Amino acid sequence: MRLKRQKTYKRYMSVYQHSFGFREPYQIIVDGNFIKVAQNARLDYKSMLQETVVGKTRIMTTNCVLNELRTLGEDFMGAALAAKRLEKRRCTHGGNPVNAADCIKEIIGDSNQFNYCVATQDLQLRDYLRRIPGIPLIYINRSVMILEPPSPATENKVKEIEYNKTIPTNYESTIIKNNTKQPEEAPKSKKRKGPKQPNPLSCKKKKVNPQQQQQQQQQQQNKKKKEEESENNEDAEVEKPKKRRRRRTKKKNYDTKNNEDNKEDFNNKTNEE
């Protein structure tokens, strides 16, 4: 299946999921004509149904469909054997089988309560089922399985369901009535009395005396000079060289004097001896 077709079929099935409560595995009722056309085209209709519906499936048929295939002769014996292997949906006809189309109509009813999909080649049956909202219809066209878009009846039902979601329920409406209070009126703003102020954009700028302007410029220049001088002084204080430490020479002189005195004492002692 092509990707574009698969996306459209997925969109169609999402309508049935959200609005009518369809869930996987999807229940698909198959009639004898559909099985016969699939066998003539040599199609694996079980796997193709899963691709068209984009999900898991439960394929089923009825005893009325099986009896109809047996009565049609040897040409439909292969279709009858294939239908015999499928899951059987109970119908009320029992020992008095009816036409397959009438049996499917009776199972679906007026509202498709049990969320069935229908795979059939019968044009009259499909026309009848399009009038009932919420029934996905499948058929084969030239060895291609096609899922019909939602019918006008289903689209109208979807709009009705979406509109009903917006209407409050009886419980919600009672709560709204009890809690509704008349909104308090906002206090009216008092109008300001007296003359209005002029628009500043429409006013002319004040004239400046040239002498005052020169004085202001001189003051600004003086401020800048003072700031520059203070910065220069700070830089000069930071850049002063550090004082070198003086070496201690007193101890050495003292030590030399003691050595000299010791030598003289020693010499004096030797001379006395």
**Average pLDDT estimate for 32-48:** 93
Evaluate whether 137 touches 118 at the Cβ level (below 8 Å): yes
Q: Are 46 and 39 in contact (CB under 8 A)?
A: no
Q: pLDDT of 106-163, one tens digit each? A: 999 999 999 999 999 999 999 999 999 999 999 999 889 999 999 999 999 999 999 9
pLDDT band at 168 (very low <50, low <70, confident <90, very high): confident
What confidence score (pLDDT) does residue 32 get? 92
What integer is the mean pLDDT of 51-62? 94
Strands 57-61 and 87-88: parallel
Q: Give the closest residue to 116 by CA, choosing from 208, 106, 65, 189.
A: 106
State if pTM tops 0.75.
no
Residue in 13, 5, 29, 34 with CA at minimum distance from that of residue 123: 34
What beta strand segments (E) does the chain contain?
26-30, 57-61, 87-88, 116-119, 137-141, 144-147
Residues pairing with 117 in the sheet: 28
Alpha carbon separation from 183 to 168, 179, 186, 244 (Å, rounded): 22, 12, 9, 88
Concatenating the DSSP letter of every residue in 140-189 gives EETTEEEEPPPPHHHHHHHHHHHHHHHS--HHHHHHHHHH--PPPPPPPP
Strands 144-147 and 116-119: unpaired
**In the chain, % of residues over pLDDT 70:** 81
DSSP annotation of 76 = G
- Give the C-alpha separation, 36 to 110, whole Å: 28
Mean pLDDT, residues 59-88 taken together: 92
Q: Are 64 and 125 in contact (CB under 8 A)?
A: no
Share of the chain above pLDDT 90, in %: 51
The more confidently predicted of residues 106 and 259 is 106
Residue 227 binned pLDDT confidence (cut-offs 50, 70, 90): confident
Neighbours of 64 (CB within 10 A): 24
pLDDT the model gives residue 160: 93
DSSP 202: T
pLDDT digits (tens, 9 = 90+) for 77-103: 999 999 999 999 988 887 788 899 999
Q: Phi, psi (5° rounding) for residue 138?
A: -130, 140
Given pLDDT bands bounded at 50, 70 and 90, which one contains residue 167? confident
173-212 pLDDT per residue, tens: 888 878 766 556 667 777 767 677 788 788 877 777 788 8
Q: Residue 263 — pLDDT band, cuts 50, 70, 90? A: low
171: pLDDT strictly greater than 60? yes
3-state helix, strand, coil in the chain (%, to 5): 55, 10, 35
Given a cut of 50, whether residue 254 has pLDDT beyond it is no
